[in-house]
Amino acid sequence: MAKIAILGYGTVGSGVYEIFQDSDFSKKIGESVEVSKILDIREFPSHPNPGLFTKDFNDILNDAEISVVCETMGGLHPAYEFTKALLEAGKSVTTSNKELVATYGTELLEIAAAEGVRYMFEASVGGGIPIIRPLASCLLANNIERIAGILNGTTNFILSEMINNNREFDDALADAQARGYAERNPAADIEGHDACRKIAILASMAWGDFVDYNNIPTEGICDISLTDVRYAEKFGAAIKLIGYAEKQDDKSVYACVAPMAVECNNPLAGVTDVFNAIMVRGNYLGDAMFYGRGAGKLATASAVSADVLDIVRMKSLKKPMRWETGATKMLEPGKKKWAYIVRTKAGQKEIDSEFNPVKTVTGVVESETGFITEPMCEDEFLEKIARVGAVKYIRMLEN
């Protein structure tokens, strides 16, 4: 019998409790798992098992019988201090806390490796969709070339409403809030910060060197209008908020979060509503996509629980995962090549003086032209477009 503890009895933490309460995993992993303590500062008087709760972290830290702890508190502090203390005490930790992993992942993985325990975070990206473990294990024989993902369900819901139901951004956002998909303060979602932390984790996983989310240029979707959506449609594409990372030939890493036009023959374009999907390109495998609900109490909790089960049934790894710090050379964002969809009031002659448009449309908005540029470095594009003048431009995701 393995004994585990849960830190934080919120949405995900209570989901983890439910899963271990409802299932006997001894048939699956050869050992049963029991939640023996739960840390939360709140009272849960009507809980069927109130004796599990403690307000004192030391009750868990000093309980020698507890071998795995699920950190589902969220936030950096005290989640960081608690996780560090637990790993140093020889307990494995699983988490859904993307902020913590993206900020302190390197140090926490290092401590886990030194102590011979594990720090696992399948639930930190994509909710219950398996993506961390496939990157760490199933795709191990591949060199990952790039990752492009719809990593935030709230923004994907908003964009889907704009695309499919012709709603303006504000209207779609209000609906997302009414349905509980978006927070009252939706900045972390709509400004791309949530997706940024997730792509930082995926990039760190893919190449084994820590990618600091502070170094990832991040744009949200607040500026995307229904007209932009219609232009993208004219060009056979759908606008999605994409978390993007790729390894350059010179071994530097490029990463960004930005709304991008995704061509309709790309499976990412068909990912609607609150769903997430992550497309991973391996040198041998080509593109593989992982799709599902990126959030939700039990989906996320099932990923935290799968990490627990993995720890309980595995003996140790010969080579624990580590992220090197300081080793990641980031590509200067201006050097990254993109094709762009441009909306402009400039005439064809001015357009042609700077660009060789691949495709042009008119008539979507009066006295406006829309065109797709050839792929070019962002720096070069910005210079050219400053001379031509643009109403709006948006990157296109290369298939």
The stretch near a copy of itself (CB under 8 A) out of 41-49, 278-286, 326-334, 338-346 is 278-286
| Contact criterion met (CB below 8 Å) for 311 and 68 | yes
Active-site residues, by number, are 198
How far does Cα 319 stand from its chain's mean position?
A: 25
The stretch near a copy of itself (CB under 8 A) out of 98-106, 169-177, 209-217, 289-297 is 289-297
Closest approach, Cβ 394 to a copy of itself, in A, equals 23
- What Rg, from alpha-carbon coordinates, does the chain have? 23
CA distance 97 to 106: 14
Tell me the β-bridge partners of 37. Answer: 5
Total binding residues toward a copy of itself, as defined by CB under 8 A: 58
Site string for a copy of itself, 296-315 (x = CB under 8 A): x-xx-xxx-xx-xxx-xxxx
* Number of Cβ within a 10 Å radius of residue 224: 23
**134 counts as binding a copy of itself under rule CB under 8 A:** yes
CA distance 337 to 120: 34
Nearer to a copy of itself among residue 23 and residue 252 (C-beta): 23
Closest approach, Cβ 234 to a copy of itself, in A, equals 20
Long-range contacts from 158-164, C-beta under 8 angstroms, 24+ separation:
158/182, 158/190, 158/221, 159/221, 159/224, 159/229, 159/238, 159/239, 159/240, 159/241, 159/259, 160/272, 160/273, 162/224, 162/226, 162/229, 162/239, 163/229, 163/233, 163/238, 163/239, 163/272, 164/272
Nearer to a copy of itself among residue 218 and residue 305 (C-beta): 305
**32 counts as binding a copy of itself under rule CB under 8 A:** no
Closest approach, Cβ 361 to a copy of itself, in A, equals 23
**10 counts as binding a copy of itself under rule CB under 8 A:** no
**288 counts as binding a copy of itself under rule CB under 8 A:** yes
**325 counts as binding a copy of itself under rule CB under 8 A:** no
**271 counts as binding a copy of itself under rule CB under 8 A:** yes
Question: Which tokens sit at 221?
Answer: 């979707």
Nearer to a copy of itself among residue 317 and residue 386 (C-beta): 317
Site string for a copy of itself, 68-107 (x = CB under 8 A): ----------------------------------------
The stretch near a copy of itself (CB under 8 A) out of 68-76, 141-149, 215-223, 379-387 is 141-149
Long-range contacts from 159-166, C-beta under 8 angstroms, 24+ separation:
159/221, 159/224, 159/229, 159/238, 159/239, 159/240, 159/241, 159/259, 160/272, 160/273, 162/224, 162/226, 162/229, 162/239, 163/229, 163/233, 163/238, 163/239, 163/272, 164/272, 166/226
Nearer to a copy of itself among residue 124 and residue 305 (C-beta): 305
Work out which of 85, 289, 377, 391 binds a copy of itself, going by CB under 8 A: 289
Q: Which of residues 206-235 bind a copy of itself (CB under 8 A)?
A: 208
CA distance 223 to 169: 8
The stretch near a copy of itself (CB under 8 A) out of 46-54, 316-324, 343-351, 356-364 is 316-324
Work out which of 50, 267, 334, 347 binds a copy of itself, going by CB under 8 A: 267
Work out which of 11, 29, 252, 352 binds a copy of itself, going by CB under 8 A: 29
| Contact criterion met (CB below 8 Å) for 106 and 321 | no
218: CB partners within 8 A, 6+ apart: 191, 192, 193, 195, 196, 256, 257, 258
**319 counts as binding a copy of itself under rule CB under 8 A:** yes
Would you tell me which residues interact with a copy of itself (CB under 8 A)?
15, 19, 23, 25, 27-31, 122, 128-130, 133-134, 137-143, 208, 265, 267, 270-272, 282, 284-293, 296, 298-299, 301-303, 305-306, 308-310, 312-319
